[in-house]
Chains A and B, each alone.
Chain A
Amino acid sequence: MSFFKDAGHLFRFVGIFVLLFIIFLVARGYVVPKSFGQYGHYRGAAMGEIAAHPLHFAGHQACETCHVDVQDVKKNGKHAHVNCEACHGPLAKHADDPASMTPTKPDTATLCVRCHAASAARPKNFPQVQAEEHSTGLPCETCHQPHSPAMTAGGAK
């Protein structure tokens, strides 16, 4: 038994380890949310919280129920697959109650270059321009109809 007597201090050190580990486990029990790991490596309850957020986007189907004329122009043009709210912004409120909110018309002088300003990072066959040279500051819609922007048949008038 003298070994345990002479090695007693080692057990004290190990005891500190065990104590710290228990403190860690207790702290972990308090800190880690109960729903953590329910579905994956994240807080399960976050799903419900995110789902409860109010909707901001209405979706293009909602727009198309009223704006059939725009849809007719758009569906044959190059922007057929660009969602309405990609340019007009989130409009769920307008879709819910059109009278409660009137969307502001986007300024094409600043809007179009978000996608069409020349950049080496964009695919070569994607239409892109040096805006200062191309339009000298004029809004793009002066020549292009934004819902169907090509200059050829079926495009702008």
Chain B
Amino acid sequence: MSGVEGYMYPNEVTLYWSVLIVLYPYITGLVAGAFILASLERVFNVTAVKPTYRLALLTALSFLIVAPLPLQFHLGHPERSPEMYFTPHSTSAMAMFGYVYLWYLMAVLTFEIWLDYRREIVLMSQTSKGLMRVIYKVMTLGSSNISPRALHIDERVSWVVTLVGIPSAFLLHGYVGFIFGSIKANPWWSSPLMPVVFIFSAMVSGIACVMVLYMAVTKLRGKKIDMRCVDTIGMYLFYTFIIDFSLEMLDLIHRIYEADESFRSLDFMVHTKLYFSQIVVQIGLGTVTPLLLLALTQMVRLPEIVRKRMYVVAGALTLIGIFAMRWNVVIGGQLFSKSFLGYTTYKMALVTKEGLLVAVGLTLLPLAILWVLVKLLPPWTDERAPEGAAAD
């Protein structure tokens, strides 16, 4: 049988969880990570990252809107997916994830963004024209109260929402890790460390994503990049990455030392089928290289232009590395047989419902949504609309 080496059980030959299921934890991770970065400013008073606060929230929302789409494309009958909400089973991790997702979308992100932008929304509902005026009017929910006391209340409530949002973000992505980590039949996935590793890798990818987006967008706008902000984000990225890498190494060392019955098979897979995606891309290119670059920025006094380039390269490599990590978890977990006697191959389709083109489309879609959101709710602190100024 082509693509199969050794012995596979019949139901293992074809991979049922495709590249879209790789994309799902990747996108969810970006949401959780971006939100954690935003919370740094709001809850932990890291004022240096303020320029990215709103961008991080909008990025989180853009990716969160797209997060369930890979699953919908994966389903044979997507029209049945609402049944998960209507008749949830308490033992279904996916059904519980649905509620966590809705909670996070509505009670955390949308609420926090609305509170933070309310002053601007009210102002723009008074100054903009045509369709935009109607949109902003709807967004005010009929209240134009932006008195100092009302805004102060917003500020306090927003702080609480962010505080609730941090465990929610952990829950959101911890759940994705839990879904994999609780599959006891699969030794590649089954590990209580999985949710923790997923949370930290989510933070790493989200922070890197917002850092790269902030630098790219500021460059495109022809504005000056706030180096104090980027340096601080770089520092947090470095520290989070060290924790993430340590946890992954802990998992690895534990597996090597434990060396259970699956070890020889998994070890062989890492040295053959997963060598490029795991050793070369995830660990070499996507973890060690950005860690070294970020360590350099922390230890050596480098000129601004060099630091900028290092941050961009480190950020981009981090995003590739975390994607490779998701790939190795999802695809890697389906390449070997439970008999530990054989391996199959994943051949990605191009234009099918779960093919490469759909995956690329779903990766770019959040950026398009972000573009619309940024137009609607400009996140820039350097040109915050003065009271009464025209917004369009």
Contact = CB atoms under 8 A, between A and B. Distances in A.
B249 interface: no
B89 A41 contact: yes
A24 B147 CA distance: 34
Interface string A1-37: 0110111111011001100100010011001100011
B296 interface: no
Given A9-B118, A12-B141, A32 B86 contact: yes
A7 B142 contact: no
Contacts, number: 48
Interface in B114-137: 114, 118
Contacts of A55: none
B87 interface: yes
B106 A17 contact: yes
B149 A6 contact: yes
A121 interface: yes
A120 interface: yes
Contacts of A24: 85
Contacts of A27: 86
Interface residues of B, number: 26
Contacts of A8: 143, 145
Contacts of A41: 87, 89
Given A28-B86, A32-B86, A9 B141 contact: yes
Contacts of B142: 12
Given A5-B145, A16-B141, A120-B7, A10 B87 contact: no
Q: How large is the interface on A (under 10, 10 to 19, 20 to 34, 35 or more residues)?
A: 20 to 34
B150 A9 contact: yes
Nearest to B83: A31
Q: Give the interface centre of B87, B147, B339 by most chain A CB atoms within 10 Å.
A: B87
Given A2-B149, A17-B106, A9 B86 contact: no
A13 B111 contact: yes
Contacts of B150: 6-7, 9
Contacts of B153: 3, 6-7, 10
B157 interface: yes
Contact of B145 (A9, A13, A17, A120): A9
A120 B337 CA distance: 13
Contact of A12 (B9, B10, B143): B143
A105 to B, nearest CB: 29
Contacts of B89: 41
Interface in A40-72: 41
Contacts of B141: 9, 12-13, 16
Contacts of B145: 5-6, 8-9
A9 B9 CA distance: 59
Nearest to B156: A7
Given A10-B157, A13-B111, A32 B87 contact: yes
Interface of A: 2-3, 5-10, 12-13, 16-17, 20, 24, 27-28, 31-32, 36-37, 41, 120-121
20 contacts: A2-B149, A3-B153, A6-B145, A7-B150, A7-B153, A8-B143, A8-B145, A9-B118, A9-B143, A9-B150, A10-B154, A10-B157, A13-B114, A20-B106, A24-B85, A37-B87, A41-B87, A120-B7, A120-B339, A120-B341
